Structure 1
Amino acid sequence: MSQAVVAEVQGNVAVLYMQNPPVNALSQSVRVGLIENIKQALDNDNVHAIVISSQLALFSGGADISEFSGGNLEPHLPNVLDVIENASKPIIAVLNGPAFGGGLEVALSCHYRVTFASNKVGLPEVNLGILPGAGGTQRLPRLAGVAKALDMIVSGRPEKASKLSGVFDLIVEDPSNLLSEAMAFVQKVIADGAKIRKTADVAIDKASAPDELFAQYRQGLKKQARGFFAPERCIQAVEASVSLPFEQGLVREGELFMECMGSKEARAQQHFFFAERAASHVSDYDKSTPVRDIKQVGIIGAGTMGGGIAMNFANAGIPVIMLELKQEALDKGLALIRKNYENSAKKGKLTQQAVEERMALLTGSTEYAALSDVDLVIEAVFEKMSVKKEVFAALDKVCKPGAILASNTSTLDVNEIAESTSRPEDVIGLHFFSPANVMKLLEVVKADKTSAEVIKTSMQMAKKINKVAVLVGVCFGFVGNRMIEPYGREAARLMLEGATPQQVDKIIYDFGLPMGPFTMGDMAGLDIGFYVRESRREFIEHDPSYCVVSDRLVKQGRVGLKSGRGAYMYEPGNRTPIPDPEVVEMAKEEAARLGVAQRDISEQEILERIIFPLINEGALILEEGIAAKSSDIDVIYVYGYGFPVYRGGPMQYADEIGLKKVYDAMCKYRDELGEYGGHWFEPAPLLKKLAEQGKRFADFKQ
């Protein structure tokens, strides 16, 4: 008998405990164990009721998605739920912890459900590009109500049990009393005649789910579901629970589930699910590598970035000392942090007490000596090598042995920064993305001499502050900003060749990014890119057309949203870009000066010329070992740059459409665009090799 489910008979009740660490995934062994133990309990005349619970902290995290790749994995979950729902003795689910996906579907198929008020349950399958495929879309509307079920299934968000009184027959306030109160409830069920209450038999009041409910829901979902395949199928499945009898509803759910499973969006979202987890698996350290304790953190620079970084640590309960050389700048920085917290409190995201607790963890100083006892210090000052080196030389003198010295640089050489200290093994890059208190990504940049201990500590620290860390090597811009360079460069060049900013931005927005390159440049500030170009003129001097319009805009003071004009115009207090004919005229003038012919450019060419060079740069990064695996690049691009998760990231997108398509297009533009094409569209050797072999980036191993 399966060891993933253990059974014990307590008087007249058989209690089945799932025990499949770490999250009680409903793997084949669990499914087999449930059926075997239920049948055994049904055959035992002394057993009058059956309880399904868990010996782990979770009731169940849901399906084992590693099984999605196929094989004979009977019994399938719907078969298990059939056995539960059609059992001749009452089956009671006692949820001792969270139940997600298939875990909640198991509970919904039981005849009664018991849990505690603060417990969370949900059907998050939409996040994997699919829908609940074991009756969740048919059973949840019958118990929770159609509107609530629709919201839970389409959003994938978990809900507290206290808000799901229709789902649970008993909600216990104190989790420590759950088992005793649950067993008392089971005895009452037995005493009342051991009635079988099938969720399938619950009738849905069609008046509670008029057509307008679904129409309004679709309308409200338009923006956030843009590009995703599964949300609409989730809605259709819930509609089926209202319009069809239960058995037919299950059939329709199954059809929609298979549609989702076969979609490129599901492949992308499932790839990303694994990619995010794989990012933490690195070869630079092992289990025996010690980890340093981070009890106190220093932040140098109390500006927008420094303040955002500080908030991450305060949110995690870690004290922070913020350093600014001028008291005025320090006071301003701390006041901005308080304002951010107060805004969160106004929105109900924080209590006032929590605001004060977090602010109490933040102190300031104008003296480097105040950092003498910190375990980690993060520098967030102006992006200039001479300034960074000066800061690190000062830190080297005051910080205690074993303190980790980190730079928040977004482009600069961490090896060179490390050389300004006597302890390069303790120096690392921690590249936070703006706004640092919101963005989930953290590029952890290992320098040549960074110790395994410092790398491991940094990767684990990222989890504590709720970041997704990706380990990368040293090169200009690391992974994210190095790849954004060809993306921005091609947008600028396409404008010279005759495309308008709004045309380019619309194509990239329609592809799935939150905004196009020109809008993004205006939002960030065109001066930022200008300063980067000024520091790297030797890299681009062979191309006189390189971002010439952007340079001209900056020299005129048109640096984007903050100045009211950039690639677009902006009305005061309004972030909506307004097309500017002057910019189009400026591009015509520069094109004429440089001898660049203007023409009508197809949508396909615009998309390929902006996205494919970015992918090509990713191939170079992989080949150079700057990123350990292609999925790491995908994590960086989804979390750091808004690449659509339903495309899985740029490298997964390339794998999906075929590397030969990307390679052939790079060769085409290299040959068609003359000297410019020769400079910028040479395919990466790795792209060429994999395309010729019919392989994917995912197949490449260092």
Structure 2
Amino acid sequence: MTDIIGMHWAEDADGIVTLTMDDPTSEANIMNDVFEKALTQTVAKLKEEKARIKGIIVTSAKKTFFAGGDLTALIQAKPEHAPIFEQKVSELKALLRGLETLGKPVVAAMNGTALGGGLEIALSCHHRIALNNPKAEFGLPEVSLGLLPGAGGVIRTVRMLGIQNALMNVLLKGDRMKVAKAKSVGIIDDIAETPEEMMAKAKAWIVANPSAQQPWDKQGYKIPGGSPSTPSFAMNLPAFPANLQKQIKGANYPAPKAILCTAIEGAQVDFDNALKIEGRYFTSLACGKESKNFIKAFFFDLQKINKGASRPSKETYPVWKSKKVGVLGAGMMGQGIAYVSAMSGIEVVLLDMSLEAAERGKGYTQKLLDKRVSKGRMTKEAAAEKLALIKATNDFADLAGCDLVIEAVFESREIKADVTKKVEAVCDAELVFASNTSTLPITGLATASVRPQNFIGLHFFSPVDKMPLVEIICGEKTNDETLAKAFDYVLQIKKTPIVVNDSRGFFTSRVFGTFCMEGVNMLAEGFNPLSIEQAAAQAGMPVGPLAILDEVNMELTRKVRKQTQIDLAAEGKEIPTEPAFALIDKMCDEFKRPGKKEGMGFYDYPADGKKRIWSGLSQFVTADKKQPSTVEFTELKERLLYRQSIEAARCYQEGVLRSVADANIGSIFGIGMAPWTGGQLQYINYIGVAEFVKRADELAAKFGERFAPPQLLRDMAAKGETFQ
């Protein structure tokens, strides 16, 4: 065995060298300086001794095969670093290229996850064998971080799978695939059941393929399905950018465009020049601002949250697991909460006013389980076990023994107070009582409880089975033990928890409302509703504000607003009036079009299921705004994003938000804030705090005080600070 730091070299009697990646400075192997130095020394040694070497196996000493790029280094890359950055990328590619052109068979023996750079290492090998590890994932998810695979991943997958298959199945989707899926797609060649079988298969393949080469290095090689110059493929080429534009809806996502360009341009030149093309596009993305937003949000912020940065100390409050959860209300939210709880192995009591209603709620889980069984994702027996965990009832006595009860009843203080008392009458003193309210302050709801220290908010998002976020709201008397238990429960059901302090609308509902209202404000100003919805799409929002209000229902929105006005009036305060208020009142009172539930809102919902803007909205559109100019349309996009970020900054200033990470992840996962922004507070960083304040003041002068930046931002701008 030869000692190379980060890469153990072992040679057997048959002349087969096993290279075991093992970075001593990290829990996982990543493309850092340790790896690059190790690979440099290893490739040099392989070239020196290749005459007696029969083949090479690349494997890992870690739980995972290789984690990918060094994101800590990547997030620091700036435009001025581009020349040096591109040179380093080229050097890494040359090392991998040296491995695959050594003239000896090279096999990747992947004992665990190989994502991004990890899979790119495997792709530079001639054969890939993966251990059948149920936790292992394989793929090139760089697009989800605003990047492209920069170590040959685009060029190699295109030449392995063909342009269309590589783009559609691997590169643009960025899927993290389980081993069977990865094999069916074609990025894995073989599967082994044990580590011993994996190594045996690797050695057998080397013996059977002594002259192995990559397909693209063989004489007469052609890209599967044809290159851009192939007439049959060239006919379909114009559809690629058109389909991509349709998918990203014109929003600010440079990575998918760069991936498409790299694949098409790289397919028209030889392999080594294709690598140079990939390197230039990768460098442009890595040194750009959008990738910083993606990396901060989807790696650093998300990692910070999931590791418990917002949770009270585990030393004081050890990790807790719920064994029995009560869910009050078997409607849309309650039935979803019951499903995700049961799927995590928790016993559930689903309670509603009538047994029939409770059984209907349980039927929702039955429906979702049947769907999983039909798709082969679960056995009938396993589905039956999950369903059996849910007990439908209308008897509060059945809640006895629950360690957590979540109420998802009607948004009425009186009803919520009533069920709180009934639950506490039959449950133990250690019970955690949580409200799924989306707007009512937790401190006020907790007054109905005899143990307000055990009372907390757990705000789920619809549909619960798909939405990844839960907003945890601490009331004034909520204690740390209750918060720790609530946090642990959210992780237990495989959701992402953010923690906020009590406020009217908390964080997500409060900020989400500003997005919706700004869209209606635009309509009240005379803008074409189609332009408003398109502006939201091009800003990166998943759904337009008018469509969302139809889903939420304008009657409910108005009811919340009026209740807020009453509550604030009691405090001697008032809600600043917006043009949207009168228009929503008109939609509800005069036109009787409150939303999708009634089949009539800003949209019509015909029987064929394809919604369309209600023609009656034309009465609000003025001639000068029917077709907005480019400048006006850009401003519409800007307003929709600025409005949300300004409100998020207010929440941070007021202490509603406890951390920047909670703000960014909560806004993306809960509200749908455009992912390319990195979240609502990161968007302010992206613009530049001083520039953001300047533009917000301009918007405030033009459209009203709702755009006025809070003092926090002015202070940050003066000090040159950013959100960290």
TM-score normalised according to structure 2 size = 0.86
- After TM superposition, give the deviation of residue 257 of structure 1 in Å: 1.3
The aligned residue for residue 121 of structure 2 is 106
Distance 1:386 1:255, change over 3 A: same
**Is 1:635 matched with 2:660?**
no
Q: Deviations over 1:658-689 (max 9, x none)?
A: 3334323433344445xxx35x3432111222
* RMSD, matched Cα: 3.1
Shift of 1:459: 2.5
Deviation at 1:375, TM superposition (A): 2.2
Check whether the contact 2:16–2:203 (CA below 8 A) recurs between aligned residues: no
Confirm or deny: 8 A CA contact 1:321 1:365 kept in the other structure.
yes
What's the offset of the Cα at 1:424?
Answer: 2.7
Encode CA deviations 1:275-297: one digit per residue, 9 max, x unaligned. Answer: 22223342552241312221221
Contact 2:327 2:408 in 1 (8 A): yes
**Could you say what secondary structure the match of 2:172 adopts?**
helix
Shift of 1:574: 2.5
What SS class does the counterpart of residue 489 from structure 1 fall into? Answer: helix
Aligned equivalent of 1:181 = 200
- Deviations, residues 506-545 of structure 1 (Å, cap 9, x unaligned): 2222222122211110122112101101211244466385
Distance 1:146 1:342 in 2: 36
Cross-structure match for 1:549: 583
Q: 2:154–2:259: 8 Å Cα contact kept in structure 1?
A: yes
Measured after TM superposition, the shift of residue 106 of structure 1 is 1.0
Distance 1:241 1:204 in 2: 13
Aligned residue runs from structure 1 range 295-310, under 5 A? 295-310=323-338
Q: How do 1:123-134 residues align onto structure 2 when only pairs under 5 Å count? A: 123-134=140-151
Contact kept in structure 1, 2:18 and 2:59, CA below 8 Å: yes
Q: Is the 8 A contact 1:108 1:199 kept in 2?
A: no
Question: Residue in 1 aligned with 2:100?
Answer: 85
Cα distance in 2 for partners of 1:138, 1:460 equals 43
How many Å apart are 1:94 and its aligned residue? 1.0
Q: 1:225 aligns with which of 248, 253, 257?
A: 248
Deviates further, 371-380 or 459-468:
459-468
| In structure 2, C-alpha distance between the alignment counterparts of 1:587 and 1:393, rounded to whole Å | 51
Say if 1:608 and 1:665, in contact at 8 Å, map to a contact too: no
1:171 maps to 190
Cα distance change of structure 1 residues 567 and 154 upon mapping to structure 2, 3 Å threshold? closer
SS, match of residue 279 in structure 1: helix
1:136 and 2:153 matched:
yes
- Alignment match, 2:217: 201
Q: 2:111 aligns with which of 87, 96, 101?
A: 96
Q: Which residue of 1 aligns with 2:59?
A: 53
CA offset at residue 219 of structure 1? 4.2
Counterpart of 2:586 in structure 1: which amino acid? Answer: R
Q: Secondary structure at the match of 1:445?
A: strand
Offset of 1:244 from its aligned partner? 1.0
| Structure 2 SS opposite 1:437 | coil
Distance in structure 2 (CA, Å) of the matches to 1:277 and 1:293: 21
Structure 1 residue 14 corresponds to structure 2 residue 17 = yes
C-alpha distance 296-92 of structure 1, shift in aligned 2 (>3 A): same
1:156 equivalent in structure 2? 174
**Change over 3 Å in CA distance of 1:439–1:39 after alignment to 2:** same
Kept after mapping to 2: 8 A contact 1:115/1:168: no
Alignment of 1:246-285 (within 5 A): 246-273=271-298, 274-280=300-306, 281-282=308-309, 284-285=311-312
| Structure 2: gaps spanning 5 or more residues | 228-232, 569-573
Quote the Cα distance in structure 2 between the aligned partners of 1:671 and 1:105: 52
Q: Any idea what SS the aligned residue of 1:243 has?
A: coil
Unaligned runs of 5+ in 1: 589-596
1:157 aligned counterpart, secondary structure: coil
Aligned to 1:561: 596
1:394-413 per-residue CA deviation (whole Å, 9 max, x = no partner) reads 22222224332211111112
Residue 374 and residue 252 in structure 1: after superposition, are their counterparts in 2 closer, same or farther (change >3 A)?
same
Distance 1:566 1:234, change over 3 A: same
Question: How many residue pairs were aligned?
Answer: 682
Q: Deviations over 1:332-380 (max 9, x none)?
A: 2222332344345556655544443332221112122211112222111
Match of 1:122 among 118, 135, 139: 139
Alpha-carbon distance between aligned partners in 2 of 1:283 and 1:561, rounded to the nearest angstrom: 37
Percent identical across equivalent pairs? 27
Q: CA deviation at 1:622?
A: 0.9
- Which among 511, 515, 534 is matched to residue 506 of structure 1? 534
Q: Structure 1 CA distance, aligned partners of 2:527 and 2:280?
A: 43
1:126-183 CA-to-partner distances (Å, cap 9, x unmatched) read 1111111111122223334444322211211244555647967962452354345235
Deviations 1:84-140 (A, max 9, x none): 224354432211122111111111222433334676421111111111111112222
- Separation (CA, whole Å) in 2 of partners of 1:479 and 1:24: 38
Give matches, 1:615-694, under 5 Å: 615-672=645-702, 677-678=704-705, 680-694=706-720
Residue 239 (1) aligns with residue 241 (2): no
Q: 2-side partners of 1:299 and 1:623: how far apart? A: 34
Q: 1:455 to 1:158 in 2, by over 3 A?
A: same
SS in 1 for 2:59: strand
Contact 1:48 1:89 in 2 (8 A): yes
Question: Does structure 1 retain, via aligned residues, the 8 Å contact 2:183–2:189?
Answer: no
SS of the residue aligned with 2:527?
A: coil
Q: What's the CA shift for 1:233?
A: 1.9
Q: 1:399 aligns to what?
A: 427
CA contact (8 A) 2:668 2:675 kept: yes
Deviates more, 1:27-36 or 1:636-645: 27-36
Aligned mates of 1:457, 1:548 — CA distance in 2 = 43
| Contact 2:310 2:498 survives alignment (8 Å) | no
Return the alpha-carbon distance in structure 2 between the equivalents of residues 297 and 166 of structure 1: 40
The one-letter amino acid paired with 1:580 is: S
Q: Deviations over 1:426-478 (max 9, x none)?
A: 22211100111111111111223333333233323323322121111111111
* Counterpart-to-counterpart distance in 2, 1:454 and 1:260: 43
Q: Paired residue for 2:571?
A: none
CA–CA separation in structure 1 for the residues paired with 2:667 and 2:71: 23
1:642 positional shift? 1.8
Local SS of the residue matching 2:267: helix
Check conservation: 1:240, 1:249, Cα contact below 8 A: yes
How do 1:363-382 and structure 2 match up within 5 A? 363-382=391-410
SS at match of 2:69: coil
Is the CA contact 2:352–2:393 (under 8 Å) kept in the aligned structure 1?
Answer: yes
- The one-character-per-residue Cα deviations of 1:169-218 (angstroms, maximum 9, x if unpaired) are 962452354345235416625xx6x4352455142346544224544444
